[in-house]
Structure 1
Amino acid sequence: MSGEVLINLTPMETRVALVENGVLQEALIERSRRRGIVGNIYKGKVVRVLPGMQAAFVDIGLERAAFIHAHEVMPPGTPLDEQQTIGQLLHEGQALVVQATKDPIGSKGARLTTHLSIPSRYLVYMPDSPHHGVSQRIEDERERERLKALLDSSVAEQTLEVTGGFIVRTAAEGVGDEELKGDMHFLLRLWRKVSERKVIATPQSVIYDDLPLFMRTLRDVMRDDIEKVRIDSRENFVKLVEFAEEFMPDAVERIEYYPGERPIFDLYSVEDEIQKALGRKVQLKSGGYLVIDPTEAMTTIDVNTGGYVGHRNLEETIFKTNLEAATAIARQLRLRNLGGIIIIDFIDMNDVEHQRQVLRVLEKALERDHAKTKCTGVTELGLVQLTRKRTRESLEQTMCEACPTCSGRGTLKTPETVCYEIFREILREERAYSAETYMVLASQPVVDRLLDEESAAVADLETFINKTIRFQVEQHYSQEQYDIVLM
C-alpha cells in the first residue's frame, strides 16, 4: 500500500491530508486562533472540587475550566485500598501541573491528567512512571523481545539521569540501537527543560507546547509505506526538513516542496472528499449507501442496499453490501474523526459465517486507524458496537456550527404547524387584550399558506373574534419565526 501526506499551510490554518492508494483516509485541520492543546503541559490552578463526581475543575488559562478525575491525580497503579478521594488529593487554589488529554469539545472543557508523557518519534517518556514497555500494536513476539532488550541497554547507557519509564512506539519496529538512544537522550534533555519551567511558571500558564500540526504529523504518521510528504509553503518546508534531519533522517528524501499552480488539495480530489465527509449520506460503489448520524451520546451508522440488486440471491446481495460497507465505515471513522460509542446497523444477515466475515473485515480495516478502537461484537439485535478514542474535535465540529435556524435539530416546523400556532396565539391575545386589528409578521411560506390553504380558517377566525387580521411578509424571518402586532 502506497501513501502520501499533503500539507496545506496558510497564516490562518494548517490542513493535512493522508492519502492511501489515491484515496483520502484522514484530514486534520488546525486553526491558528484555535490550536489543539492535546499533549500540552500546563501549570493550572484548582478552581472547584466536586466530591460527588470525584473530580475537579482546573483553570489552565483557557476560556473554560478543564476537568480532571481523581484517578488521573493518583499515581498510576494505586491499589484499590490505598486510593484517596478527590478532597484528599486536591483543594481549591492549589497549583497543579497537568497535561491535556482531550481538546475542549462542544460545551465541554478540556480533559486533564497529572500522569505526564512526552512523545518523540520512537519513544514516549513518562517521567512519573517506572514502567518500561512496548506498544501492543507490535505483535511479533521476537521483535517485542528485541526492542525490550534495546530499551533496557539504552537506559543503562544513558549519561543523563533516568527517573521515569519509556514506551516503545509502533514506529520503532525494525529500528536499531542508535535511533532509540538518540530519541531517549532528546526526551531526557527536553524533560530537564520542562522540569526547570515547572518551578518558575506561574499558574494558568503553558509549560510545554506540543509541536505544530505539520511537524506532529511527520512525527506520528510517517511510516515506511509513505512515499512522499508534499508541503505547499516554502518557509515551512525548510522547517520540516530541518526537523527531519535532526529526528527522522530517513524521511528527509521523501519531503517535497509543492509549487504547483493547482491547489495542493485538488490532488486526489481531497477538497471534494472533505466536503462529502460533512454530509450524512455516503454512497458505496455497489449502489448501496451509509447514513451517518453523530449525536451527543453516540454515533449511529445505518447500512442500506439502495440501488444495488445483486446477481444471485438476497443473502448474497446483503453480504456483499455489508462487506463493502465495513471497509467504507472504517475509512469514514478516520476521515470524519468520529469518536466515543459507535453503533453500526448492518443489513440483517441470516448466515452466521457471513456475520463473522463482515466483522473480520471491519476489524482488519480498523487496524490502520491510529486512534484506539475496540469492537465488542454483534448484539442480540444484530448491531455492531465499537468504541473509538476521542481526543480532538471531529471534522464536522472543527468546520461547522449548529444551524441558527433549527438550532441543530436538522428539522423545521412546517408552515402548516406555524399557521396553527399563529391562530392559537391570536386567540390568546384576544382574551388578554383589546385590539382593533391584528398584524401577523411571518416568513413568505407561512404567509403564502395563510392566504391560500388556510384562508377559510382565517376567515372563520376573523368572524369568531370580530376583528380584522392582516399579514405582512418579513424576508429575514425564519420559517418558524413570527410576531403578532396589536393595532
Structure 2
Amino acid sequence: MSEEILMNITPMESRVALVENGVLQEIYVERARSRGIVGNIYKGKVVRVLPGMQAAFVDIGLERAAFIHASEIAPRQEKNSEDTQERPIYELVHEGQSLVVQVTKDPLGTKGARLTTHISIPARYLVHMPKNNHVGISLRIEDVEERERLRQLVESCLEGQSESPSEYSADPGGFILRTAAEGIGDAEVRADILFLRRLWDTIEENIKDSKAPATVYEDLPLHLRTMRDLVNPNIEKIRIDSRETFEKVSKFVKKLVPEIDGRVEYYPGERPIFDLFGVEDEINKALSRKVQLKSGGYLILDQTEAMTTIDVNTGAFVGHRNLEETIFKTNLEAAVAIARQLRLRNLGGIIIIDFIDMEDSEHQRQVQRAFEKAMEQDHAKTNFTGVSELGLVEMTRKRTRESLENVLCESCPTCEGRGTLKTAETVCYEIFREILRAVRAYDGDSYMVLASEAVIDRLLDEESNNVADLEEFIQKPIRFQVEPIYTQEQFDVVLV
C-alpha cells in the first residue's frame, strides 16, 4: 500500500491530507486562532470539586474550566497507585490546589477540555511517562521476539544512566515504545530517551517558575506532529506547498526521521495542491449526509451529541442473481466505505451501524470481518461490541478532537441544526392564529403580515379563501408585505 502526505499551509490555517493508494483517508485541520490543545501541559488550579461525580473542574486559563475524573488523578507522593478511582475525589484534590495536568481531549461543543495528571510526552519512537517506571510496547508490534528485543534495548539504555549521570535525571521515569519503533536500534532509543528527559527537565523548571493557571508545555504544530505521528515506511512522498514550512519539516526530518529525508518535496505549482490531488472535492463530499457507493447503494450518516448512526441502503443497486446476494455485496462495499468515512470525518464516541439485514449467518460474519479488517488502518483506538439483538453493529471510536463537520461547519441559523424547516402551509396557519390573538389583545384598524416570499405567495394564492374568511370574521382588512431577509419560519403581525 502506497501512502502520500499532502500539506496545504497558509498563515491562517494548516491542512494535512493522508492519501492511501490515491484515495483520501484522513484530513487534519489546524487554525491559527483555534489550535488544538491535546498534549499540552498546564499548571492549573482546582476551582470546584464534585464528590457526586468523582470529578473536579480545573482552571487552566481557557474560556471554560477543564474537567478531570478521579481515575485520572495520581495520588500525591504515591507512584503507580492502582486504587485511585476507588478513593473519594476530596482525598485527592481540594479547591484552590495547584495541579499539573495534561489535556487528553479538546473542548468539544459546550464541554470543557478533559484532563489527566498521568503526564506522557511523545517523541519519534518513545513516549515518556515521568510519573511512572513502566516500560511498555505498542500492541501493534505483534512479533514476540521483536517486542522482547525492544524491551531489553530500552532497559539496557536506562541502566546506562548510572554510568552517564550527566545524560539522564536521577529518576528516568517510564517509557512506551511506539509502533514506529519496530526495527530500530540502540542509537535511536538513546537519542529519544535523552531528548525526552531533557524536555521533561525543562517542563519541570517551567512548572516551578509558573503561577497557576499557566501553560508549561505546548505540543508541536500540525506539520511537525504529522512527521512525528503519521510517517511510516509506507509513506512514499510528503508534498508541502509552503517553502518556509518545507524548510522546517526538512530540518525536523534530518534530525529525527532521517530515513525519509529524500521523500519530502516542496510543491511550487500554481494549481492548489489539494485541487490537484482531488482532496478539496473529497472534503466537500465528507460534509454531506449521504455517501454514494459505486454499486448504486448509499450510506446515510447522522451525527448527534450522543452518538453517530450509519444506515446502509441498496439504492439503485439491483444485483444480478438474487436479493440475498445483492444485499451481501452492498454490505461488503459499505463496510469498507464506512471505515473510510469514520477516519475521514473523524467521527468518535458511540457509533451504531445498521447494515441491511442478512439471513445467511456466513454473510454476516464475512461483512463483520471485512469491516474490522478495514478499520485496522485507523490510527484511533476502536472497540467493537459485536452485533446487537436488533442486528446493529455497535462500536466506539476514541474521540480526542472535533469531527471534521464540527471544525468546518456550524449549525444552520435558519433551522437551528434540526435539518428541517416548517412548511409554508404550517407557517400560514401560525399566522392566522397570531392574527386572532392580536385581535383579542389589541384594537387596530387593520393588520400587516410581514413574512418570507414563499409564505406571502401562499397566503395570496392557495390560502386566499381562508384569508378572506378571516377578514370577514375579524371585520378588519389584512395586508401582506414580503420581507426578503426573513427565513421561511419568521413572520410578524403588525397593527396599522
Return the alpha-carbon distance in structure 1 between the equivalents of residues 483 and 92 of structure 2: 59
Q: What is the letter of the counterpart of residue 462 of structure 1?
A: E
Matched, 1:223 2:239: no
Q: Is the 8 A contact 1:23 1:268 kept in 2?
A: no
SS, match of residue 216 in structure 2: strand
Return the alpha-carbon distance in structure 1 between the equivalents of residues 367 and 469 of structure 2: 61
Matched, 1:400 2:400: no
Q: Is the 8 A contact 2:8 2:15 kept in 1?
A: yes
Within 5 Å, give how 1:80-95 maps onto structure 2.
Answer: 80=83, 83-95=86-98
Q: What is the letter of the counterpart of residue 35 of structure 2?
A: R
Which residue of 2 is the match for residue 105 of structure 1?
108
Which residue of 2 is the match for residue 117 of structure 1?
120
Provide TM-score, normalisation by structure 2: 0.96
Which residue of 2 is the match for residue 96 of structure 1?
99
- Deviations 1:122-147 (CA, angstroms, capped at 9, x unpaired): 11001111211101111121211111
Which residue of 2 is the match for residue 429 of structure 1?
438
- Deviations 1:373-396 (CA, angstroms, capped at 9, x unpaired): 111111111100110000000101
Which residue of 2 is the match for residue 320 of structure 1?
329
Q: What is the letter of the counterpart of residue 204 of structure 1?
A: P
Return the alpha-carbon distance in structure 2 between the equivalents of residues 141 and 311 of structure 1: 47
Within 5 Å, give how 1:196-211 maps onto structure 2.
Answer: 196-211=205-220
| CA 484–278 in structure 1, closer or farther in 2 if over 3 Å, else same | same
Q: Is the 8 A contact 1:442 1:482 kept in 2?
A: yes
- Deviations 1:433-468 (CA, angstroms, capped at 9, x unpaired): 211111111110111111111111111111111111
Unaligned runs of at least 5 residues, structure 2 = none
**Amino-acid identity (%):** 69
Report deviation, 1:267. 2.8
Matched, 1:142 2:159: no
Return the alpha-carbon distance in structure 2 between the equivalents of residues 449 and 18 of structure 1: 50
* Equivalent residue for 1:262, pick from 271, 282, 294: 271
Within 5 Å, give how 1:137-216 maps onto structure 2.
Answer: 137-158=140-161, 159=164, 160-161=168-169, 162-216=171-225
Matched, 1:274 2:283: yes
Return the alpha-carbon distance in structure 1 between the equivalents of residues 486 and 370 of structure 2: 49
Bigger mean CA offset, 30-39 vs 263-272: 263-272
Which residue of 2 is the match for residue 252 of structure 1?
261
Return the alpha-carbon distance in structure 2 between the equivalents of residues 130 and 290 of structure 1: 47
Matched, 1:310 2:316: no
Return the alpha-carbon distance in structure 2 between the equivalents of residues 473 and 163 of structure 1: 73
Return the alpha-carbon distance in structure 2 between the equivalents of residues 117 and 384 of structure 1: 33
CA RMSD of aligned residues (A): 1.2
- Deviations 1:124-171 (CA, angstroms, capped at 9, x unpaired): 001111211101111121211111111211211233134411011011
Bigger mean CA offset, 104-113 vs 15-24: 104-113
Q: Is the 8 A contact 1:194 1:208 kept in 2?
A: yes
Number of residues of Structure 1 aligned to a counterpart in Structure 2: 487
Return the alpha-carbon distance in structure 1 between the equivalents of residues 258 and 91 of structure 2: 48
Return the alpha-carbon distance in structure 2 between the equivalents of residues 157 and 351 of structure 1: 60
Ranges of 4+ aligned residues in structure 1 off by more than 2 Å: 74-84
Provide TM-score, normalisation by structure 1: 0.98
SS, match of residue 282 in structure 2: helix
Within 5 Å, give how 1:40-51 maps onto structure 2.
Answer: 40-51=40-51
Return the alpha-carbon distance in structure 2 between the equivalents of residues 405 and 90 of structure 1: 45
Report deviation, 1:216. 0.1
Q: What is the letter of the counterpart of residue 440 of structure 2?
A: R
Return the alpha-carbon distance in structure 1 between the equivalents of residues 213 and 82 of structure 2: 31
Q: Is the 8 A contact 2:71 2:84 kept in 1?
A: no
Matched, 1:383 2:386: no
Which residue of 1 is the match for residue 419 of structure 2?
410
Return the alpha-carbon distance in structure 1 between the equivalents of residues 244 and 428 of structure 2: 60
- Deviations 1:205-225 (CA, angstroms, capped at 9, x unpaired): 110010000000010000100
Q: What is the letter of the counterpart of residue 369 of structure 1?
A: D
Bigger mean CA offset, 220-229 vs 134-143: 134-143
Q: What is the letter of the counterpart of residue 229 of structure 1?
A: I
Which residue of 2 is the match for residue 22 of structure 1?
22
- Deviations 1:209-242 (CA, angstroms, capped at 9, x unpaired): 1000000001000010000111111111111111
Which residue of 1 is the match for residue 38 of structure 2?
38
Which residue of 2 is the match for residue 59 of structure 1?
59
| CA 275–393 in structure 1, closer or farther in 2 if over 3 Å, else same | same
Q: Is the 8 A contact 2:73 2:118 kept in 1?
A: yes
Return the alpha-carbon distance in structure 1 between the equivalents of residues 213 and 272 of structure 2: 40
* Equivalent residue for 2:135, pick from 107, 123, 132: 132
Return the alpha-carbon distance in structure 2 between the equivalents of residues 171 and 304 of structure 1: 39
Bigger mean CA offset, 475-484 vs 422-431: 422-431
| CA 82–342 in structure 1, closer or farther in 2 if over 3 Å, else same | closer
Report deviation, 1:245. 1.2
